[in-house]
Amino acid sequence: MSEATLPNRSAHFQARLKKRYAAEQRFKFLGLGAIIFSVCVLAVLLVSMTMNGVGGFQRAELSVPVNFREAGLTIEPQRLKDSDAIQALETAGLPMLVQTAAEQALGPDGAEQVSSDAWREVGRAIVDDPALLGSEKTFNLPATNSLASALRGEGREDLRPLAKELSDKGLLARHFDPGFLTRADATDPQMVGIWGALKGSILTMLVTLALAFPIGVLAALYLEEYAPKNRWTDIIEVSINNLAAVPSIIFGLLGLAVFLWIFPFYRSAPLIGGMTLALMTMPVIVISGRNAIKAVPPSIRDGALAIGASPVQVVFHHVLPLALPGIMTGTIIGMARALGETAPLLMIGMRAFVATPPDGFTSPATVLPVQIFLWSDEIDRGFVERTSAAIIILLLFLLVMNGLAIYLRNRFEKKW
Amino acid sequence: MSPTILLLLALGLGLAGWLAARARAYSFKREVAGGRLAALPSYHAWYVALWVLIPTVLFVAVWSFIAPQLVTSSVLASPAAANLPEFGFLRSTILNEAAAVAKGDAAGVFNDQAQALIEPYREAIGQSRMIGLIATMVIGFMGGAWAFLRIKPDFAARTRVERTVMAILLLASLVAILTTLGILVSLTFETVRFFGMVSPVDFLFGTFWGPDPMSTTTDPTRYGAIPLFWGTIFIGAIIAMIVAIPLGLMSAIYLTQYANPKWRAWLKPALEILAGVPTVVYGYFAALTVAPFVRDLAQSVGIANASSESALAAGVVMGVMIIPFVSSMADDSIAAVPQAMRDGSLAMGATTSETIKRVLVPAALPGIVAGIMLAISRAIGETMIVVMAAGAAANLTANPLEAMTTVTFQIVAMLTGEGSFDHPATLSAFALGFVLFLVTLGLNFIALRVVKRFREAYE
């Protein structure tokens, strides 16, 4: 291309073109900046939770060698099989034994800083393995919360030299705490665990799923396949769409006013929590279910009708199985939202302090997000770590659920 | 656990009925000439199973609701309950203790009076369990037997089963209406009670909010909700939207118009994760990280009285939470603009950004506005972030660094205390909830109307 064929551009035109291109670039970078900012906030959130939370999976432990052989704890092997084996060990003098062992290993000051419930962990080890009574074992016993914060360089000044001395000797260290996953709530951050809340969450989700999934799917089938076009159907559709957008706390008010009025005995039970969340999740399932049912081509229905199936058979033998992967995807997303929901459960009283994992749908329980909320109110630094650790677990659960939804979507995606 | 056992029993009876009826239908098949029945054997089976299941499940539902009350009243009628204290906290504690021991949930009682009640409780619970068990069996058998006797070779079981299935489908879709009605009725009922104590005018136009759940007198001047409405609007509709609208809109524009598909495949899910993070996590993040950061920043520029709970921290984090929501709404409505309009503009020599600003965004504006409406409605209904980061003080101020409180915060605060349901402070939560419900409903309604009109424009 030679010089002559270029259009004749005036200087003014050139300048304006340059300005327009510059504006174009600015606009593009603004868009990129917006995305990068959002992703950065997400990264900061995740990194700060992880950094705080890693400590939450650990706890400060004192290593105490206990020589059962010499201490001579006398207890009948039969009693260790009973349900009250720990109480039996207590009467047999286990707390005293652990105390003495701690004094020998750590000195009187150190022994004072062994958590007062530490002997229970020794007791549980004995129940698990009675042969221990004839041998010697070094236990990592939880330190008191004061010593744990002194180890971090916080809290009481007078304990810091002791913490330093013990940790220099290798007797005090932060270890991974498997018990965090198996214990329930407590008042001491050294002794808390997540299992109580996790079990409450699982029970609540089971109730939610058992109610929301069938009702949601059946309602979607009715609206998409059978509902006549009339005012009633319109009202149903409008109320489903509205319910999907109602703030979750309103569902909490509904649960408080209606469910707790009908079942006053089941306050803060997973049953009521699950029912409340089911009402919230149901519209999500209906909406996604309708989309999945709509995606099944009419030729399938026509084919089935043509060979003599009844309308109910068409839907339950042909349409529903084909739409199920799509419905499942929507259900998992709705359940993930319900799992992270806190406000409605606060309303129906699931914020109580529950120190034992719930053993049924009707026993008092708390759920993971509420547990996070309760711990976040505690000022102790130990609880900050524990809260972040609980958040990591909650986020992992959500990640798994969303991953499953994406997998289902990709695995069963069909182009008709 | 008792209702669970009864439900399992009902299911077992249903299964037995199903199997028996199927076997019977197959035996008809052998007897009838030609081996053709009016319906497939499995429909006969379902017919009987439904006749067992529906009455028993209904009975169990009703029974699990009335049985605890029957137990309590029969215990109260027993002679051991004669010297219980009058109504109040002590009385219910004693009853609960005795009930827990009788059910086997607790090992012993603290209160001596409860000891005497354990036996009557145990008796009454045993009795109610027995009645429930027998009644479930009888109802199941009667329903099953009646249906079983009706099945014959020429019995049109399929029509009946399908009619029932249709009825169940209809009932399922009615749950949504019932829920809406339940929300409306419960909110209205408690709100009316609240307005019986505090006049609506004082509530809606008063400027001082300071309910005292402990006071025994009602002071209507303490229930002015204007500071709460202002706090909600300031945090949810102003600060959060200042963050969410530009960021969400620009993200959507970049993702749809500029980003290459490879990047888009990564960035879009990353944005979606932002929407999936539970609000309690955002609230914790706001309280733990953002609020101290905002306070330190404010102090470093010389604002000494910056609060550690600020409207700004809550609003900004809420805005971040809403970004993916605005972004996906904008994404949808920009994608709905016909490609011809974009091509036309580019063909005239406009740059991409000029096309976006002058053609795509104006054409997509109704959809974007609707998305913003929905975003606002979500922001003002959001609870955990403000509960954890915004503070409890009802301030009527425009300073974003001060603590502010919102409608949702006050609902939580009023209902998680020890207040009774007859106190205006507790009831005010329902009035606030009612206002919140109406406002979000209004915003959603407007948004849906806007979207509807907009969609018609290009079809």
Q: B136 near B20, Cβ under 8 Å?
A: no
Please give the single-letter amino acid code of residue A117. Answer: D
* Domain shared by A160 and A301, yes or no: no
- Quick check: B187 contacting A, CB < 8 Å? yes
Q: pLDDT, tens digit, for every residue of B191-217?
A: 999 998 888 888 888 888 888 777 766
SS3 string, chain B, reads CHHHHHHHHHHHHHHHHHHHHHHHHHHHHHHCHHHCCCCCHHHHHHHHHHHHHHHHHHHHHHHHHHHHHHHHHHHHHCHHHCCCCCCCHHHHHHHHHHHHHHHCCCCCCCCHHHHHHHHHHHHHHHHHHHHHHHHHHHHHHHHHHHHHHHCCCCCCHHHHHHHHHHHHHHHHHHHHHHHHHHHHHHHHHHHHHHHHHCCHHHHHHCCCECCCCCCCCCCHHHECCHHHHHHHHHHHHHHHHHHHHHHHHHHHHHHHHHCCHHHHHHHHHHHHHHHHCCHHHHHHHHHHHHHHHHHHHHHHCCCCCCCCCCHHHHHHHHHHHHHHHHHHHHHHHHHCCCHHHHHHHHHCCCCHHHHHHHHHHHHHHHHHHHHHHHHHHHHHHCCHHHHHHCCCCCCCCCCCCCCCCCHHHHHHHHHCCCCCCCCHHHHHHHHHHHHHHHHHHHHHHHHHHHHHHHHHCCC
Going by pLDDT thresholds of 50, 70 and 90, the confidence category of residue A369 is very high
Between residues A281 and B458, which one has the greater pLDDT? A281
Q: Do B179 and A45 touch (CB under 8 A)?
A: no
**Does residue B388 sit at the A interface (CB-CB below 8 Å)?**
yes
**Shortest CB distance from B173 goes to which of A35, A223, A343?**
A223
Between CA A159 and CA A163, with CA A160 as vertex, the angle to 5 degrees is 90
Give the whole-angstrom CA distance, residue B107 versus residue B348. Answer: 85
User: What tens digit of pLDDT does each residue of A66-92 get?
Assistant: 877 776 677 777 777 777 777 777 777
* Within-domain flag for A370: yes
Burial of B327 (0-12, 13-18, 19+ CB in 10 A): buried
Euclidean distance between CA atoms A76 and A79, whole angstroms: 6
Q: Which two tokens stand for residue B301?
A: 């520029």
Q: Which of residues 275-304 of A touch B (CB under 8 A)?
A: 279, 282-283, 286
What band does A350 get if pLDDT is binned at 50, 70 and 90? confident
Q: What is the pLDDT of residue B198?
A: 87
pLDDT top residue among A264 and A64: A64
Q: C-alpha B272: how far from its chain's center?
A: 22
The answer on A8 and A87 residing in a single domain is no
Which residues numbered 22-41 in A keep a CB inside 8 Å of some CB on B? Answer: 23-24, 27-28, 30-35, 37-39, 41
Reported as type and span, the H/E element at residue A58 is strand A58-67
B173 and A222: CB-CB below 8 Å? yes
Q: How many domains does chain A have?
A: 3
Q: How far is B107 from chain A (nearest CA, A)?
A: 12
Smallest CA-to-CA distance from A271 within A281, A284, A260, A261 is with A260
Strand order in the sheet with A136-142: A136-142, A58-67, A172-176
Provide, as residue numbers in chain B, all residues whose Cβ is less than 8 Å from the Cβ of A23: 351, 353-354
Q: With a CB-CB cutoff of 8 Å, which residues 292-321 of chain B face chain A?
A: 320
The proportion of chain B whose per-residue pLDDT surpasses 90, expressed as a percent, equals 38
Is pLDDT of B1 > 60?
A: no
- Is the CB of B158 inside 8 Å of chain A's CB atoms? yes
In a domain, A350, yes or no: yes
Q: Which residue has the tokens 């053609």?
A: B359
pLDDT in tens, A282-335: 999 999 999 999 999 999 999 999 998 999 999 999 999 999 999 999 999 999
What CA–CA distances, in Å, run from A11 to A14, A16, A260, B354, B413? 5, 9, 78, 22, 67
What rounded mean pLDDT belongs to chain B?
86
Residue A111 lies in a domain: yes
Query: What gap in Å lies between CA B382 and CA A21, rounded to an integer?
Result: 42
Domain endpoint, select from A16, A40, A56 = A56
| A13 in reach of chain B (CB within 8 A) | no
Chain A residue with Cα closest to B324: A38
Element at A286 (helix H, strand E): helix A270-294
Q: Are residues A281 and A390 in the same domain?
A: yes
Owning domain of residue A152:
59-176
Contact between B444 and A310 using a beta-carbon 8 Å cutoff: no
CA distance B284 to chain A (A): 7
Closest residue by Cα to residue A322 from A309, A339, A341, A304: A304
- Same domain for A329 and A244, yes or no, is yes
CB contact under 8 A, A39 and B270: yes
Cα-Cα-Cα-Cα dihedral of A405, A333, B285, A253, to 10°? -160
The answer on A75 and A108 residing in a single domain is: yes
Closest CA relative to residue B314, chosen from B336, B288, B340: B288
Q: Which residues lie closer than 8 Å to A273 by C-beta, 6 or more apart?
A: A200, A204, A207, A255, A344, A345, A348, A350, A365, A367
**Residue A137 host element (H or E):** strand A136-142
Single out the residue in A38, A56, A74 at which a domain terminates.
Answer: A56
**The two three-digit tokens of residue B406, written as one number:** 């919102």
For chain A, the distance separating the N- and C-terminal CA atoms, rounded to the nearest angstrom, is: 50
Q: What is the CATH number of the domain that holds A240?
A: 1.10.3720.10
Q: Nearest C-alpha of chain B: how many angstroms from A99? A: 29
- For the ranges A64-78, A174-188, B15-29, B236-250, the lowest mean pLDDT is seen at A64-78
Question: Hey, are the CB atoms on A340 and B183 less than 8 Å from each other?
Answer: no
Helix (H, G, I), strand (E, B) or coil at A139: strand
Q: Are A394 and B281 an interchain contact pair (Cβ–Cβ within 8 Å)?
A: yes
Alpha-carbon distance of A348 to A255, in angstroms, equals 6
Say yes or no to pLDDT of B458 above 60.
no
Residue A291 CA to residue A333 CA, distance in Å, equals 14
Q: Under CATH, to which class is B220-458 assigned?
A: mainly alpha
Cα separation of A271 and A365, whole Å? 10
| Domain contains A330 | yes
Which pair of tokens denotes residue B142? 């009667």
Whether residue B277 lies within 8 A of chain A, CB to CB, comes out as yes
- With 80 as the cut, is the pLDDT of residue A416 above it? no
Q: Is residue A181 part of a domain?
A: no
Asked if ipTM goes beyond 0.95, one says: no
Check CB contact under 8 Å for A340 and B287: no
Structural domain boundaries in chain B = 3-155, 159-186, 220-458
Check if A243 contacts B (Cβ < 8 Å). Answer: yes
Domain final residue pick, A176, A210, A225: A176
Cβ of B253 and A283 within 8 Å?
no
Q: Are residues A270 and A128 located together in one domain of the fold?
A: no
- Tracing tokens 């009930």 back to the chain, one arrives at B99
Nearest to A35 among B176, B251, B282 (CB): B251
Query: Where is pLDDT greater, at B424 or A83?
Result: B424
Higher pLDDT, B105 or A125: A125
Q: What is the least distance, in Å, from the CA of B243 to any CA of chain A?
A: 10
Is A376 touching B (CB cutoff 8 A)?
yes
Question: Which residue do the tokens 């090992």 mark?
Answer: B107
